[in-house]
Amino acid sequence: MARHAADDLELALMDPDLDGRARSAAQKKLNNALTTASVLDKQIEVQARVEGELWTELWATPQAVAWERLGWTREVAQYVRWKVRAELGDLDASKEARQLGDRLGLTPLAMLRLRWEVTVDEVGEQRQGRTARPARSARARLKVVDPDAAAGGE
Q: Where are the domains of the chain?
A: 1-46
Per-residue pLDDT tens over the stretch 68-120: 999 999 999 999 999 999 998 999 999 999 999 999 999 999 999 999 998 87
Residues 6+ apart with CB under 8 A from 54: 80, 83, 84
Percent of the chain exceeding pLDDT 70 equals 82
Res 127 pLDDT > 80: no
Spatial distance between the Cα atoms of 103 and 44, rounded to a whole number of angstroms: 26
Q: What is the pTM of this model?
A: 0.66
Sorting pLDDT into bands at 50, 70 and 90, what band is 148? low
Whole-number average pLDDT of the chain: 84
